[in-house]
Chain A
Amino acid sequence: GQNIDQPTEMTATEGAIVQINCTYQTSGFNGLFWYQQHAGEAPTFLSYNVLDGLEEKGRFSSFLSRSKGYSYLLLKELQMKDSASYLCAVVDSNYQLIWGAGTKLIIKP
């Protein structure tokens, strides 16, 4: 079967750095997405990785290792507004998106 694993919940302090991990087992791989979803709102696109390595976009970076079936989202200089759920999703060999259950990130002052 296909499976995406990410921690259910994480807590971090304002101004700090947090890394949210995602591991996957899917039938094929055609890319990995990270989305942010604030409570009661639509998921919004953060990043897309298809090649190994680190993609940096402002305070957010996303890393991919295809050989390990592993990705992480790195959030720096955390702000209170970063409190949200972070969804990992993998595009499989049929170009279907397989979603993780999301990681709820709580930022404390």
Chain B
Amino acid sequence: ETGVTQTPRHLVMGMTNKKSLKCEQHLGHNAMYWYKQSAKKPLELMFVYNFKEQTENNSVPSRFSPECPNSSHLFLHLHTLQPEDSALYLCASSQDGADPKEQFFGPGTRLTVL
């Protein structure tokens, strides 16, 4: 595997379910990001991890919980989501989160909340 991978690619869940999104980067980067992408809206930065430490949490509701066990893996744990949380969730990585040069994105997880 190369680059940034995300699983699952598609996820449908009810509002009472608990699920997790997984991201893995094979680029040796030190920073990883979670973004939410909704139709016709700018990318919304959710969380940033730099050297496994969370450095950014952009007022994201607590029903989204990130986890970064090491610099290559990033998870987004989901529970009691709302229909408006339906979106494309993108993971990205870069060499250093303190100086974001080029970010490499994964293919995303298309999430539908029923």
Contacts and interface: CB of A to CB of B under 8 A. Distances in A.
Interface of A: 4, 8, 33, 41-45, 48, 87, 89, 91, 95-102
A96 B40 contact: no
Contact of B102 (A42, A48, A98): A48
Contacts, number: 41
Interface of B: 4, 40-43, 45, 56, 90, 98-108
B4 A42 contact: yes
A45 B108 CA distance: 16
Nearest to B102: A45
B64 to A, nearest CB: 19
Contacts of A99: 42-43, 45
B103 A42 contact: no
Contacts of B40: 8, 101-102
A101 B103 contact: no
B90 A43 contact: yes
Of A43, A91, A99, A100, most buried by chain B (CB within 10 Å of CB) is A43
